[in-house]
Structure 1
Amino acid sequence: MTSTIPEEVEPQADERLSGVLLMLGSAVSFSTIGLFTRAVSLPLADLLFIRGLFGTLAIWVVARLFTRRRVLDRANFRWPSLCVAGLFTLGMTSLVAAYRVGTVVNVSVVYAMIPLVIGLFQLVFLRRRTSPVFWTCGLGVVAGVAIMTGGGLSTGDAAGMALALLMTVCVAAIIMITRAHRDTPMLIASGMACLLSSAVAAPFVSGYRFDPRDFAVSALFGAVTLGLGRVFLILGSGRVPSGDAALIDVLDAPMTPIWTWAVLGEAPSKHGAVGGCVVLLAVLAGVHVNREH
């Protein structure tokens, strides 16, 4: 049985350059998620509610300024857009929870496995053959994760890494869908995802005592990681091959612990640093082999 997902078309050079720059902007913006999550002392539901509202506002502003799309356009409610909105909601909620319960380096390194997940998706859905070396790199990822957990894995770290893996699968699917359905507008879908995440968190909001600092940081969290990061991902991933998009997107993994270490003084453990380097090297090698194959 052949796949119904269309093959990718190679972009023009100028389109590819703009896509690379947008994806770099996405990686930098998204790398701050660990910092924002750690910097806010609000309950998780409160954080998700405020972040979602300001993420929605930021995306709406971008859509109004740079596109002619209206929220109620029928094209925004096709199945690819709705699927992306659902995946965004599930993935972003999972990742924020992951950074709350697990260490930043462990969570960010698991998220760095996204290119390998895309390789699996291409094999399953596009019937694209994958080099044995690519699978060897996958074993390298497993070895790196084993090193990371060699110093002992707390219950919080295990839960955090599992939630990060869920986010990884969601973003890999988003990149594949966005690339395969370039004629379907996805920007509004990301805004709907932000609004949906606030709606899901609303019943659990604790009604905290207003703290201007926490409110401001939560609002900035939504504007930067959702308003900028996810907008850049949506716009950029449609302009570059999915392998390139995954390779650039994985750059936020080494940047995330650097933010928390530089600003909050949260240094990674020895096992986490060594294992993380092994995972990143294996991922980069796997992407290179997969592109050349």
Structure 2
Amino acid sequence: MTSTVPRALRTEKGERFSGILLMLGSAVSFSTIGLFTRAVSLPLADLLFIRGLFGTLAIWIVARLFTRQRVLDRANFRWPSLCVAGLFTLGMTSLVAAYRVGTVVNVSVIYAMIPLVIGLFQLVFLGRRPSPVFWLCGLGVVVGVAVMTGGGLSTGDVLGMTLALLMTLCVAGVIMITRAHRDTPMLVASGMACLLSSVAAAPFVSSYRFDPHDFAISALFGAVTLGLGRVFLVLGSGRVPSKDAALIDVLDAPMTPVWTWAVLGEVPSKYGAIGGCVVILAVLVGVRFDREE
């Protein structure tokens, strides 16, 4: 029996579904940043240098194996790609620093506000009014992650949360640019961002005794959070509405304590468990019922 659903509609639904899966992969990969930050004892500059190199390598391998994008293509040096590269560089560097000076959960409170930032960006720059469902789900995300904090702020959290706010603004910008310029190759831009972060950290690298454990963890940090996480974000955010991408992207906040519990034995508090459930519920409701672009 021939399907009565128009092919264009089926294609659109399939693209959205694949985009959601990619964004979920991005959230899972990116949620390991707290785990890696705790597992590595290297100075911040050393960590950023090694992480950036291996993130660049991972993205280059993906680009070569699964896409036709080449580093020297002229399209990689247009303003959308360069903006993505710059935003990624600034955002990823600031977030790693944020997790070093602040607690993992409290820093996540600010990053979880990205759905609201996307909504504000669309309102200010595009004149689009987000639906009431979106604002409700965004508020649910913020409330859920706020519950996860449980006991207030530590001394370093003020600086950490400020750095996390910078990261939030950068990722919101990346999502909107990627969605608006789907034909512009953004994957290579992500690799450029990783390389730039290593270049920026290079002058501050300290001379230390080579530690195979720390080196391996730092390399894995780059391959997982930058290589996989940012690749999934760039490929997925162009296939789903910006608001959906923002809502799914914050799923890393409740998943971060799960990694530290599973690998490092840090049992999440009851606040973390309850808040995580609220975040997941808010995201699922937003993806299911918010259909406005």
TM over 0.5: yes
What does 1:113-262 correspond to in 2, within 5 Å? 113-131=113-131, 151-262=151-262
Amino acid at match of 1:172: A
Q: Is the 8 A contact 1:116 1:286 kept in 2?
A: no
Q: Deviations over 1:211-252 (max 9, x none)?
A: 001000100110111111101111111111112212221221
Distance 2:19 2:137 in 1: 26
Distance 1:52 1:155 in 2: 29
Q: Describe the shift of the 1:144–1:168 C-alpha distance in structure 2 as closer, same or farther (beyond 3 A).
A: same
Q: Describe the shift of the 1:41–1:233 C-alpha distance in structure 2 as closer, same or farther (beyond 3 A).
A: same
Distance 1:254 1:23 in 2: 15
Q: Is the 8 A contact 2:144 2:279 kept in 1?
A: yes
1:272 to partner: Cα distance: 5.6
Q: Is the 8 A contact 1:105 1:268 kept in 2?
A: no
Moved more, 119-128 or 103-112: 103-112
Q: Number of residues paired by the alignment?
A: 285
What's the counterpart of residue 3 of structure 1? none
Q: Is the 8 A contact 1:40 1:217 kept in 2?
A: yes
What's the counterpart of residue 5 of structure 2? none
Gap runs ≥5 in structure 2? 1-9
TM-score normalized by the length of structure 1: 0.87
1:169 to partner: Cα distance: 1.2
Q: Is the 8 A contact 2:254 2:275 kept in 1?
A: no
What does 1:85-104 correspond to in 2, within 5 Å? 85-104=85-104
Q: Is the 8 A contact 2:145 2:253 kept in 1?
A: no
Aligned-pair identity in percent equals 86
Distance 1:254 1:142 in 2: 11
What's the counterpart of residue 62 of structure 1? 62
Q: Deviations over 1:240-273 (max 9, x none)?
A: 1112212221221111111012211234455565
Moved more, 187-196 or 98-107: 98-107
* Runs of 4+ displaced beyond 2 Å: 130-152, 265-293
Q: Describe the shift of the 1:223–1:142 C-alpha distance in structure 2 as closer, same or farther (beyond 3 A).
A: closer
Distance 1:218 1:245 in 2: 27
Q: Is the 8 A contact 1:106 1:272 kept in 2?
A: no
Gap runs ≥5 in structure 1? 1-9
Q: Is the 8 A contact 2:98 2:164 kept in 1?
A: yes
Amino acid at match of 1:106: N
1:152 to partner: Cα distance: 3.5
What does 1:44-55 correspond to in 2, within 5 Å? 44-55=44-55
Q: Is the 8 A contact 2:255 2:276 kept in 1?
A: no
What's the counterpart of residue 4 of structure 1? none
Q: Describe the shift of the 1:124–1:63 C-alpha distance in structure 2 as closer, same or farther (beyond 3 A).
A: same
